[in-house]
Amino acid sequence: MWSRRQRCRNLHRHTSGPAYILCLTPSASAARDALPIGKSQFNEGETIVNGANFFQINGREDGVRSSSSVSYLHPILERENLTILTDHWARKLPVEDGRCIGVDVVLSDGIHSRRITARKEVVLSAGAIDSPKLLMLSGIGPADHLREVGIDVVVDSPGVGSHLQDHPEGVVQWEARKPMVTRSTQWWEIGIFSPTEEGLDRPDLMFHYGSIPFDMHTLRQGYPTSENAFCLTPNVTHARSKGTVRLRSIDYRDKPKVDPQYFTDPYDMAIMIAGVRRAREIVAQPAMAEWAGRELSPGEDVQTDEEIADYITRTHNTVYHPVGTVRMGAADDDDSPLDPELRVKGVEGLRVADASVMPKITAVNPNITTMLIGERCADLIRGASRS
C-alpha cells in the first residue's frame, strides 16, 4: 500500500499519488558532522534514529500547501455524487437500534438544524479533539462522564477521549552574530534526530532548527529575546504522558476540556532535559562559533536538571500533533473504542478516520500518516461494500 500512496522516490517527490512532497547550510552541516549524528535522507524507507537533514514539506511547486483538502477534495469538486456543505456544524450522530443512521447538523444560519441520513455508513473525521467530542455528545464514551454532563449512555466506551498523545516541545535560543535569513519556505527548515541512549530502534528525541526568534512562550516568562536569533527545539517523539478530552457541557458549541497532562510521566522530562543539553552541545561546536552569540533562553546560568526542568515546565509548547483519543485496537480490548477496521465498537455503520485512531503517536508530524488512515479507511469501506 505504501508504495502506491507515496509520491516520492527522488528528491522532489511527486510521481503518482495526490499529495506532493518537496525536499544544511555549511555551518550547520559542519556542526552536525562534528558530533555522532550524521546526515540522513528522510523518507527513504528506513527509520532515522540518528541523523539530520532538511525537512521535506507537503507542498506543490506553485507554493500551495498540499493539504488533504487540496490533494483529495479540490480535484473532484464537480463530481455529481459529492456534496460539500460548508459552515455547517455537526452536533450529534443519531443511533437507532444500535446503528448510526446519519448526522444531525446545524445549518449555516446557526439556528436551524437538519438530519442527514446515511444508507450505509457514516465516517467521522473531525480530528483528535472534535471526534471524541462528537462521539460523547452522541452518547458514546465513558459512562460516568456522560452521566455527569447529562447525556444518555448509548455505548459505555471508556477509551473515547482518553490516551491523548502529543509532541511536547521546548526551545533553546541564541542571539545570532550574523544576520539570519528570515524568508524561507517554512520556519523549521532542518530536522535533527539524536537518541539519548544506545540501541534504540526509533528516535526518542528530535529537534527543529529555526532561523527565527521563537519567543512566544519564553518572552512572557521574562526571558530576553532578539530580532536576530536562531533556535533548536527539543521534542519528545514518543511521550509517555497521556491526556484527556472531556465535554464541558451538553452544548455542541462549547469547546471541550483538553488536558494534555504533559510531563506527568518522568520519562518525558528526562528526554527534554537531555535535549536541552544536546542542543547546547551542537551549538558549542567550532563551526557555529561565528554564528552563535549569547544564549537567550534558558540562559547559561541554567545548568542543573532541576533548573532545566523548571524552565521547560514554564515555557514548553505543543506542536499541535494530538492523536490517540479514539484509538483502534483488538476486538476484545475494552479500552480501544475502535476495532482494527476503524469501526466504532458497539455501534453499526460508524467508522472514524483521522489522527484520533492512532494507538501510538508517530515520531514526527502525523499529517501524512493521517492521510494514509483516510486512504486505508476508503479501502476498508470499498472491501466491505464488495463483500
Confidence of residue 29 (pLDDT cuts 50, 70, 90): low
Cα gap 22→5, rounded to integer Å: 16
**What are the pLDDT digits (tens) for 267-279?**
999 999 999 999 9
Mark which of 267, 294, 318 sits at the end of a domain: 318
Asked if pLDDT for residue 105 goes beyond 50, the answer is yes
**Is 157 domain-assigned?**
yes
The number of domains in the chain is 2
Report CA-CA distances (Å) from 333 to 156, 158, 242, 337: 13, 11, 18, 8
Least confident of 56-60, 279-283, 326-330: 56-60
Residues recorded for the chain: 387
In tens, the pLDDT along 322-338 reads: 999 999 999 999 999 99
Distance separating alpha carbons of residues 349 and 71, to the nearest angstrom: 27
Closest to 54 (Cα-Cα) out of 87, 86, 32, 72: 32
Quick check: is 343 in a domain?
yes
Please indicate whether residue 321 is annotated as part of the active site.
yes
Residues 91 and 110 in one domain: yes
Query: Around Cβ 331, how many Cβ atoms within 10 Å?
Result: 11
Q: How far is CA 320 from CA 17, 130, 185, 290, 380, in A?
A: 26, 14, 20, 34, 28
Asked whether residue 154 falls in the same domain as residue 233, the answer is no
Q: Enter the pTM of the model.
A: 0.88
Q: Is residue 188 part of a domain?
A: yes
Name the DSSP letter for residue 109: T
Active-site position among 163, 167, 208, 321: 321
Q: Do 174 and 312 share a structural domain?
A: yes
Q: 209: domain range? A: 49-54+167-247+257-318
pLDDT at 37 > cutoff 90 = no
In this structure, is residue 209 part of a structural domain?
yes
Q: Are residues 183 and 299 in the same domain?
A: yes
Q: Do 116 and 229 reside in the same domain of the chain?
A: no
Residues 178 and 304 grouped into a single domain: yes
